[in-house]
Structure 1
Amino acid sequence: MAETTEYEMLKLLPSEIHGWKAHGKAKLYDRETIYDYMDGAGEIYLTYGFKKLIVKRYEKSSGPEIIVEVFDMGSPEDAFGIFSHGQGRETKSAGIGQDSEYKGGLLCFWKNKFFICIRGERETPQVKKAVLALGRLISKAIEAKGEKPELLKYLPENELLEKDLRYFHKHEILNYHYFVADKNILHLDGYSKAVLARYKDDKSYLLLVQYQNIELANAALESFMKVYMPDAGQKGVIQTENRKWTAATLHQNFLIIVFDALDKAEASSKVEVVRNRLR
């Protein structure tokens, strides 16, 4: 997907909204300079396909500042991914973009290859109204919608907690949501595609990873089995220290793992359901 120019990103932003006026020059950050704007959080965006960020400030004499951040994530898949990394603050969508959340003066949403955050430095009814209006205008200015990651279609329907779904590429993001190991034993890199989800029934976790080829998937399973479940044997299922069950298997270049199932049969069954959806 073609990279968006600074001018094209600026065109998404209105000059005024409900009395708040754009103030000063918008600031542009790329993969080299993102740390100038955000320290530790910059690393999270870089694990996705982040290209550039534009930051615009809005001021009003009688109200707190509103800050708009527009991230070009390079693809709709990674715009969805970075949104999914932070979702769960609110159970209900704000109805903006392709999915959104608003809480405490902060609106985040994604549409096409863009991830947008709009926040008021202090929440008031007027700030909330302006933040949501800004979001609607920016969403409308992004004409096309984008497709969610194809990997999601292999997940079992109606069995997972929607707000606990995470899409990512690197093991740092996996460990943030479910710690597996200090080292990258699943061989996750910028080319692997992974989704972590949680079941409604027993709150167990499903990890589905798509590698570039079968050889990489085999190597990842071998590494995982050796470190995480060395006593599992050929069946690929074992009870872990927390007295719950983990199961792992492959289908072509896909690795399927279920963590924290309540019993052995449930762990094996959930892995097989996903495996059958891949066939």
Structure 2
Amino acid sequence: MKFPNLSLRLIITMAISCLAISCAGRNVGESPSEMTLHSLFPTSEQIAEFARHSPIMRDWQRKEEPLFFSGRRIYDYMDGAGELPLSYRFRVLGTAWYQKDDTALEVVIFDMGDSASAFGYYSIYHSPNDRFVQLDHRAKITPGYILVGWKDHYTVVVQTEKDEVEDDLLIQFAKAVMANIKERGEPPDLLRYLPRKDYIENSARYARGKYAFDNAVMFIAEDVFNLKENVEVAAADYHSEASDYRLVLLRYPKPEYAAKASRAFFAKLTESSLEIPADDAMWIVNDKKDKWVGAIIDGQFVGVALRAKDEKVARTALETLRQSLKQPADTDFETQF
């Protein structure tokens, strides 16, 4: 079976492996997070009730009680891929299998600690060219195999064991889970500060920590942005008549942290110790790959332009970002995430 998304294929591989190591997970215990998570998995009775309005759910049964993997025990479920949710504010994941005849589905629910992290982890696994369905928020669907969505502080994955299924089955299972999640949750506030002009729909991403930054934004071997210091990162892709480019916005706890990060990034790109003229100055350099990179500092924010065709495109992008920092978008911008 060929999967179009390698990262999601890894999730499926590790999830199936979980059957063989189920002793590493545990059923609901004393943890309040696990008890809450347990209540979100639809029971066989709830599925039967759901099937009254969604016939495709008819005769599906939950095979067994959910298993839980908390904190760093997520590696027992996802191996090295566990670094990604841990880069956010991951608490615990639960997994349960559902079956009808010879077809099986797995539901995985990640308690990510807050809504921003739930969106962030979801955002890693989609791109503008993917197919989306509207649930409480948008969800990405790989037709026949996987649905990834989020609600409140939970990221939800519904995936097949091996056989292709109807898309509506994935959607209805996701709806059944999300019906048990009472709060809707909001996307990260930081996304409002990204410009709307020329924004490529469904390209917004949100990251916390170095590992998520490397996967969502760009890979830099060194932690030049000092991402361990409670830094939030939003990124999105843009298309103008002149060039495609990416904007990245980092929010630091203190302005001095932002200034230090911008200087470190400049030094990394130029391989020099040259000082930026002023902390609020804009700088733009060629990245030696025929693309232009630049940055601005605005208080506790660092704004970065990547992949610009020339210096003019980078400058215009950064000026647009500076304006957006002064006038952030309304919440209706969420409809484009």
User: Is the Cα contact below 8 Å between 1:89 and 1:101 reproduced in 2?
Assistant: no
TM-score, scaled to structure 1: 0.91
User: Is the Cα contact below 8 Å between 1:207 and 1:257 reproduced in 2?
Assistant: yes
User: Is the Cα contact below 8 Å between 2:128 and 2:201 reproduced in 1?
Assistant: no
Q: Give the structure 2 partner of residue 150 of structure 1.
A: 189
Q: Which has the higher helix share?
A: 2
Q: Give the structure 2 partner of residue 221 of structure 1.
A: 262
User: Is the Cα contact below 8 Å between 1:47 and 1:190 reproduced in 2?
Assistant: no
* Pair 236,112 (structure 1): closer, same or farther in 2 beyond 3 Å: same
Task: Note if 1:12 corresponds to 2:53.
Answer: no
State percent identity of aligned pairs: 24
Give ranges in structure 1 of 5+ residues lacking alignment.
none
Which one is further off, 88-97 or 247-256?
88-97
User: Is the Cα contact below 8 Å between 2:151 and 2:181 reproduced in 1?
Assistant: yes
* Pair 265,218 (structure 1): closer, same or farther in 2 beyond 3 Å: same
CA distance in 2, matches of 1:223, 1:203: 25
Following TM superposition, by how much is the alpha carbon of 1:241 offset from its aligned partner in structure 2, in angstroms?
Answer: 1.0
Residue pairs, 1:91-170, within 5 angstroms? 91-103=130-142, 104-125=144-165, 128-170=167-209
Following TM superposition, by how much is the alpha carbon of 1:276 offset from its aligned partner in structure 2, in angstroms?
Answer: 2.0
CA distance in 1, matches of 2:129, 2:307: 25
Computed over aligned residues only, the root mean square deviation of the Cα atoms, in angstroms, reads 2.0
Segments ≥4 residues shifted beyond 4 Å = 230-233
**Partner SS for 1:174:** helix
Following TM superposition, by how much is the alpha carbon of 1:41 offset from its aligned partner in structure 2, in angstroms?
Answer: 1.1
**Partner SS for 1:33:** helix
Residue pairs, 1:124-273, within 5 angstroms? 124-125=164-165, 128-189=167-228, 191-201=230-240, 202-230=243-271, 234=277, 236-273=283-320
Q: Give the structure 1 partner of residue 99 of structure 2.
A: 59
Measured against aligned partners, the alpha-carbon deviations of 1:155-177 in whole angstroms (never above 9, x if no partner) come to 11142223322100123223224
Q: Which has the higher strand share?
A: 1
How many residues are paired up? 275
Letter in 2 for 1:13: F
Measured against aligned partners, the alpha-carbon deviations of 1:120-177 in whole angstroms (never above 9, x if no partner) come to 1134445x44322111111122122111111111111142223322100123223224
**Partner SS for 2:324:** helix
CA distance in 2, matches of 1:122, 1:69: 16
User: Is the Cα contact below 8 Å between 1:250 and 1:256 reproduced in 2?
Assistant: yes
**Partner SS for 1:225:** helix
Following TM superposition, by how much is the alpha carbon of 1:79 offset from its aligned partner in structure 2, in angstroms?
Answer: 0.4
CA distance in 2, matches of 1:114, 1:178: 22
Residue pairs, 1:29-48, within 5 angstroms? 29-48=69-88
Letter in 2 for 1:142: I
CA distance in 2, matches of 1:262, 1:86: 27
Give ranges in structure 2 of 5+ residues lacking alignment.
1-30, 48-56, 327-337
TM-score, scaled to structure 2: 0.76
* Pair 190,36 (structure 1): closer, same or farther in 2 beyond 3 Å: farther
* Pair 89,67 (structure 1): closer, same or farther in 2 beyond 3 Å: farther
Letter in 2 for 1:82: Y
Measured against aligned partners, the alpha-carbon deviations of 1:185-232 in whole angstroms (never above 9, x if no partner) come to 111126100012111222211111000001111110111111113578
